[in-house]
Amino acid sequence: MKNIICEIEKMDIGKVERNVPLKNYTTYKVGGVALAFVYPKNVKCLVYLIQFLKQKKILYQVLGNGSNVLFSDEVYEGVIIRLTEFNEVEFLASNKVRVGAGFSLMKLSALAVKKGLAGLEFASGIPGSVGGAIFMNAGAYKSDMGYVVQEVKVLTPDCQVITLENKEMNFHYRSSFLQSHPGYICLEVVIKLEKGNRQLLEQVVKERRRRRIESQPLGYPSAGSVFRNPEGMFAGELIEKLGLKGYRLGGAMVSLKHANFIINYDHATGKNIHDLICYVHQRVLEHYGIDLKIEQEFVNWK
């Protein structure tokens, strides 16, 4: 693998880092060491990198802001690709915005509000990248990316750049085309917003921030809601009724503020969090017969 990393460095396709602690790049603040992080400078460099990795049969993973992923504590014996250089933002005519996959969703929401554009207020507290938000169809307050996305430029598994319209993205509750089609990578998004009143939009964002502080454990590392809400129910309520608030495994704990949050309470390992997620899932299944869908993506688990 050292020789592979040396070859990547010689390609001059972007910054390369070796032996990177994944806990520094995930919101759970856990994970082992990745042998290499690569930051492609543009789409051409990304294509070159992926073609090389596939040819050499090297494991790779695209990582956004690490807000919806749980890495194991083991060494990731491959390449982590970060699209932070894909961060251009351009506000277009007709209240549209074109934005790169590596841009922060929260920052984009703030920019839209500042320009008096409505539609992304729901995203003001979602700490992911735009690409990650598209993958998960991130949402809150009865809205999500599927309501505002017009088109998505993606890289296909055979390294072709194509554009998918909203309907082709198959957005549903916390799901999208990208989830069901591994190997597709979000590169760029066009979002359609509406003209709004900046002061009113700022008030909405401020009020929602207050509600998040009151109801969510923002003082501890977490990855947001662990389970999707079953239709007509709230996962947090189901978990709370089982008396699991405050339940701990090692340094991981079911939040006392919100039962659908698992937090890194005290130097948790990835295994602590993984096992606690699985425990809560099993308890809900046994008691209610409900198979909760886990929102977080498990990476590098055997």
Options 72, 109, 225, 255, the catalytic residue = 225
Question: Which regions of the chain carry the CATH code 3.30.465.10?
Answer: 89-200
Angle, helices 2-11/43-55, rounded to nearest 10 degrees: 150
Give the rounded percent of residues in the chain with a pLDDT score beyond 70: 100
CB burial class (10 A; 0-12, 13-18, 19+) of residue 290? middle
- Tell me the pairing of strands 76-82 and 60-63: parallel
∠ CA 24-29-34, rounded to 5°: 50
Distance, in Å, from the CA atom of 102 to the CA atom of 132, rounded to the nearest integer, reads: 8
In 75-208, beta strands by DSSP E: 76-82, 89-91, 96-100, 117-118, 139-140, 143-144, 149-155, 161-165, 185-192, 194-195
Question: Which regions of the chain carry the CATH code 3.90.78.10?
Answer: 218-299
Distance, in Å, from the CA atom of 249 to the CA atom of 295, rounded to the nearest integer, reads: 20
Distance, in Å, from the CA atom of 12 to the CA atom of 8, rounded to the nearest integer, reads: 7
Q: Is 155 left (phi over 0), alpha (psi -120 to 50) or beta?
A: beta
pLDDT, tens only, 245-267:
999 999 999 999 999 999 999 99
Q: How confident is the model at residue 282 (pLDDT cuts 50, 70, 90)?
A: very high
Contacts of 191 (CB under 8 A, 6+ apart): 96, 97, 98, 99, 108, 119, 120, 148, 149, 150
> Spelled out in words, what is the top-level CATH class assigned to the domain 2-82?
alpha beta
Is residue 302 predicted with pLDDT exceeding 90? Answer: no
Q: Is 295 known to be catalytic?
A: yes
Is residue 2 predicted with pLDDT exceeding 90? Answer: no
Q: Is 225 known to be catalytic?
A: yes
What CATH number labels 218-299? 3.90.78.10
Distance, in Å, from the CA atom of 255 to the CA atom of 240, rounded to the nearest integer, reads: 10
Options 121, 151, 188, 295, the catalytic residue = 295
Contacts of 28 (CB under 8 A, 6+ apart): 66, 70, 221, 222, 223, 264, 268, 270, 273
Contact (CB, 8 A) for 264 and 30: yes
Options 174, 198, 208, 283, the catalytic residue = 174
Distance, in Å, from the CA atom of 121 to the CA atom of 52, rounded to the nearest integer, reads: 40
Mean pLDDT on 57-75: 96
Is residue 111 predicted with pLDDT exceeding 90? Answer: yes
Q: For residue 247, what pLDDT is reported?
A: 98
Question: Which regions of the chain carry the CATH code 3.30.43.10?
Answer: 2-82
Beta bridge partners of 36: 18, 79
Beta bridge partners of 186: 154
Q: How many CB atoms lie within 10 A of CB 269?
A: 19
Average pLDDT, the chain: 97
pLDDT, tens only, 197-208:
999 999 999 999
Is residue 237 predicted with pLDDT exceeding 90? Answer: yes
Q: For residue 139, what pLDDT is reported?
A: 95
Task: With CA atoms as reference, report the closest residue to 61 among 185, 176, 159, 162.
Answer: 185
Q: For residue 130, what pLDDT is reported?
A: 98
> Spelled out in words, what is the top-level CATH class assigned to the domain 89-200?
alpha beta
Contact (CB, 8 A) for 89 and 99: yes
Mean pLDDT on 150-165: 98
Mean pLDDT on 169-180: 96
